[in-house]
Amino acid sequence: MTNVPVPVEERLFSLVLALLATETGLTKNEILSTVQGYRQRFKNGGDNANLERQFERDKDDIRDLGVPLETIDSPGDAGNNQTLRYRIPKGAYVLPSDIVFSPEETALLALAARVWREGSLSGESRRALLKLRSLGVVADEPVLGYAPRIRLRDAAFEPIDAAIRKGVRVRFQYLKPGEERATDRDVIPLALVQYQGRWHLSAQEPDGERKMFLLRRIVGPVSAGKATSIPPGDHVADALAGLEEVAARNVAELQVEPGSDAATRLAHRDGAEVTGDRVVLHFVDLNILADELSGFGPEVLVLSPPALRDAVVARLRGLVASHG
């Protein structure tokens, strides 16, 4: 058994391939013991509770991506979760018959996928892609000799994600807005969640208090500590619910220049309410929103709250001062 962590995207990709390849479906035990990303941590005859919870979250993730995951009761044992079988019906997942990609278009799609570093796949997944291509999907060689890479996640994401899967503590330096020095944090990581386009860490501090950390404010390396007991509960759902509560309390009213870039971008944020040239937003972090709004310059005027207006003005004044 290898201890090398398997990236989340690779595990989900392998799960989809496995469920597409079966006609009769796979049981949870068959999935956990054979599919890339699960089998490395599967304990034959041992406690796989954490792995089963991971699988439950993964099922929700691939369904959110539009993958038609089905569950099938075993004959004579209806309602038994241990004998449920899972599959993805090929007929419900294939492209419509009127959508066909030419070899050139397929090559461009493959090139676009390689731009994103998070889209990179291991050797096992590349072999799986070759199997799919053997079904008849061919691509011309791309005309570019190299592809740029864009890193979407914060540097702290991978080590924290690995720590959550292993059930170990983490230590890192965290820099709050307005502070000159980062503080040392030693926490039990519970969940990584994305909210309003940014990654957050839900964690438990030594005194038992739950805290939310913005990954972009973690500075320096993240070090893994000793194995720890993870508190029970659906930590992803709890973290998202907590962020929703914070956003519901924090409301910003803005006046935007009609037809401007600010008007277009801010009107399409989740939960934005637009009335004429007024936009109402819900936000989690005042400083992050101030950073964003100051980037629009005169296209945005903050009407409320006063603290947000002051923060935007301070940033604009700092910009003027730094440029003479």
* Domain coordinates in residue numbering, the chain: 8-133, 157-243, 250-322
pLDDT tens, 186-217?
A: 999 999 998 887 899 999 998 889 999 999 99
Do residues 22 and 35 touch, judged by C-beta distance below 8 A?
Answer: no
CA gap 119, 112 in Å, rounded: 10
- The pLDDT score that the predictor gives to residue 32 is 92
Is 157-243 a domain of CATH 2.30.30.520? yes
Q: How far apart are the first and last CA of the chain?
A: 61
pLDDT tens, 136-153?
A: 444 444 443 444 444 456
Which ranges of 120-234 does DSSP label H, i.e. alpha helix? 123-133, 157-166
Q: Sign of the CA dihedral 32, 38, 39, 43?
A: negative
Phi then psi dihedrals of residue 136, to 5 deg: 125, -5
Phi then psi dihedrals of residue 104, to 5 deg: -65, -40
Cis, bond preceding 305 (omega within 30 deg of 0): yes
Residue tagged 């910009």 (tokens): 319
Average of pLDDT values for 284-312?
93
- The pLDDT score that the predictor gives to residue 31 is 92
CA gap 283, 275 in Å, rounded: 18
Average pLDDT, the chain: 81
- The pLDDT score that the predictor gives to residue 256 is 95
Query: Is 148 in a helix, a strand, or coil?
Result: coil
- The pLDDT score that the predictor gives to residue 136 is 44
| Residue closest to 52 by CA, chosen among 29, 85, 24, 76 | 29
Count the Cβ atoms, other than its own, within 10 Å of residue 202.
Answer: 23
| pLDDT over 90, % of the chain | 36
- The pLDDT score that the predictor gives to residue 3 is 54
Query: Is 232 in a helix, a strand, or coil?
Result: coil
Average of pLDDT values for 273-282?
94
pLDDT tens, 35-73?
A: 888 988 888 888 888 898 899 888 888 887 778 888 888
- The pLDDT score that the predictor gives to residue 241 is 93
